[in-house]
Amino acid sequence: MRTKQIGFSLIELLIVVAVILVIAAIAIPNLLRARMAANESSAVASLRSINTSEVVYQSSYGPSFAANLGQLSDGGSAANCVPPNAPTATSSCLIDSALASGTKSGYTFLYTPVSAGAVVASYSVNADPTASGASGQRHFFTDQTNLIRVNATAAATNTDPPI
């Protein structure tokens, strides 16, 4: 006489593991693509934020643009942006400190001021993935024209097409 089986057989467990592995093989690449798309969207939003902050900075503290991203942020000290402290030209509190550090959401931001005498007459910002193909695919560029440009293969420049 046969006894009643309690639990799962080895074959049943292997089938369940195989099904889970097939689902994971389908889902993981889509998850990575979604993460790269989110990082790219964050990079574009960060460049827009920098452009807007530069316009505000120039109208508030002008005629110059900021000499570095730190001047658009807290100037290296979070206490500079806490009341009752007022924003200044060296800590204007216009962008967050994560963006001012130069790295955010899988992208590295390179800010390049262009001086004309004693003032910063223009600027450019490159946003490049920290790990191309893993944290993002496309490279972005913006400058005082407030256009964001894109290049799919190399660091973007002012000659690449706008997005």
Amino acid 1: pLDDT = 57
Tell me whether residue 162 is in a domain. Answer: no
Tell me whether residue 157 is in a domain. Answer: no
Q: What's the total number of domains in the chain?
A: 1
Tell me whether residue 159 is in a domain. Answer: no
Helix (H) or strand (E) holding 123: strand 119-129
Tell me whether residue 42 is in a domain. Answer: yes
Tell me whether residue 160 is in a domain. Answer: no
DSSP per-residue letters across 94-127: -S-HHHHTTEETTEEEEEEEEEETTEEEEEEEEE
> By CB neighbour count within 10 A (0-12 exposed, 13-18 middle, 19+ buried), where does 25 fall?
exposed
- As averages over each run of 10 residues, the pLDDT of the chain (163 residues) reads 74 94 90 93 96 94 90 87 88 91 93 89 94 90 95 93 92
Tell me whether residue 161 is in a domain. Answer: no
Tell me whether residue 2 is in a domain. Answer: no
Of the candidates 92, 163, 77, 93, the residue with the CA atom closest to the CA atom of residue 127: 163
- pTM comes to 0.82
Domain that holds residue 43: 10-151
Question: What tokens does 28 get?
Answer: 């993981």
Of the candidates 8, 32, 11, 39, the residue with the CA atom closest to the CA atom of residue 136: 39
Of the candidates 116, 39, 41, 104, the residue with the CA atom closest to the CA atom of residue 73: 104
Amino acid 15: pLDDT = 94
Q: Fill in the amino acid letter for 114.
A: V
**What letter does residue 135 receive in the DSSP assignment?**
T
